[in-house]
Amino acid sequence: QTGRFTLDPGFTSTASCESKITYIDGDQGTLLYRGYPIEQLAEHGDFLESCYLLLYGELPTRAEKDDFVHRVTYHTMIHDQMSSFFKGYRRDAHPMAVMTGTVGALSSFYHDSTDISDPHLRMVASLRMIAKMPTIAAMAYKYHVGQPFVYPRNDLDYASNFLHMCFAVPCEDYKVNPVLARAMDRIFILHADHEQNASTSTVRLAGSSGANPFACIAAGIACLWGPSHGGANEAALNMLSEIGSVDRIPEYVARAKDKNDPFRLMGFGHRVYKNYDPRARIMQKTCHEVLAELGHQDDPLLEVAMELEKVALTDPYFVDKKLYPNIDFYSGITLRALGFPTTMFTVLFALARTVGWIAQWKEMIEDPSQRIGRPRQLYTGYAERDYQPIDQRR
């Protein structure tokens, strides 16, 4: 039973499309992956199960899940020559710059799976992307902090393997904390897909020209980097750090209201949600769990975040504009507590969103009616006029 929703006549989008993957009701604060509420998937499922659901449209049976997990697990290594890629970057390069360049180059290593007309090769490319993104993200982090790369391990689950590749060092044994791994896995679920957001629309538009899936994902990573989009988790933590204490909140709230001040409350507001982002609630709960597990319940930034949320949710200015916390508001505090520097926050968003980009790209490629995207414009320039020789110009 697929619901058919007629678009509001006022609905405008440069890449409006039909999709069966994710449904958002911005007024209700509802988010469904293939009809399943995000709250239930985050509570009862795991990330690879959500990946299967987003890609194939149904929750996997036990046998289907075991097969999918096995196929992803055995694709986690990357071509060893790719490790020299990282060495071309400055050590202090932003990891999102590394991700954009490295993922874009994947097609030169895995060109055998870039024939998008072949369903089997399409799925091999999809699996490779989901499997290799944690490895590439962890290598970008290790390169950034000057530590040796840590290879993936097939005996660890997806989130544990990622944390191990990021935080293990050769000189001592590293045991992944299962509570933190579960939190990481849930954070991946929350970021997996979000219908036609800016980066997904970028991937669809790039894919509509027939570009290979690795290049399309690289385009999505580049778009996600912006502070108004995926870069907001890094910007939100930087904002909370700049505010520093509860008594400075009124100063920043006043700035957010000042039309002459470009400052915005990072992690607040959304193009679609005009109610609480359901992911933000789950992220806040996860934040408390992670801080409690680490004994950091008194993290001063959490106190600032909760007080800022309380002020914004009662201030008539924000209430009138229906500004609520979005997924990025609490994710920064959580990711920092997990051990990541702010520069890695959007990389983690891109890692998780890869499955959403791939699922949306696959849906578009498999639609026989799909054609190359071609957004139109409203021309507001000059009417036709004649060329003027340079000596006659004023």
Please give the positions annotated as active site: 270, 328
Please say which residue, 212 or 326, places its beta carbon nearer to ligand SDX.
326
CB of 169 to ligand SDX, least distance (A): 33
Please say which residue, 69 or 256, places its beta carbon nearer to ligand SDX.
256
What gap in Å lies between CA 319 and CA 296, rounded to an integer? Answer: 31
Please say which residue, 206 or 232, places its beta carbon nearer to ligand SDX.
232
CB of 355 to ligand SDX, least distance (A): 13
Residues 6+ apart with CB under 8 A from 320: none
CB-based contact 214:116 (threshold 8 Å): no
Residue that the structure tokens 């958002």 belong to: 24
As to burial, measured by CB atoms within 10 angstroms (0-12 exposed, 13-18 middle, 19+ buried), residue 30 is middle
CB of 323 to ligand SDX, least distance (A): 5
Q: Which two tokens stand for residue 344?
A: 């890695």
Angstrom distances, CA of residue 155 to CA of 2, 52, 145, 193: 38, 20, 26, 27
Query: Applying CB under 6 A, which residues contact ligand SDX?
Result: 194, 197, 228-229, 232, 256, 264-272, 321, 323, 326-328
How crowded is residue 157: how many other Cβ atoms within 10 Å of its Cβ? Answer: 17
CB-based contact 293:327 (threshold 8 Å): no
CB-based contact 244:308 (threshold 8 Å): no
Give the nearest residue (CB) to ligand SDX.
269
What gap in Å lies between CA 306 and CA 284, rounded to an integer? Answer: 9
How does DSSP classify residue 172?
B
Q: How many CA atoms within 13 Å lie on the side-chain side of 393?
A: 5
CB of 49 to ligand SDX, least distance (A): 19
CB of 120 to ligand SDX, least distance (A): 30
CB of 230 to ligand SDX, least distance (A): 6
How does DSSP classify residue 105?
H
Please say which residue, 29 or 267, places its beta carbon nearer to ligand SDX.
267
Please say which residue, 68 or 188, places its beta carbon nearer to ligand SDX.
188
Please say which residue, 213 or 356, places its beta carbon nearer to ligand SDX.
356
Q: Is the backbone of residue 273 left (phi > 0), alpha (psi -120 to 50) or beta?
A: beta
What dihedral do alpha carbons 367, 369, 372, 378 form, nearest 10°? -120
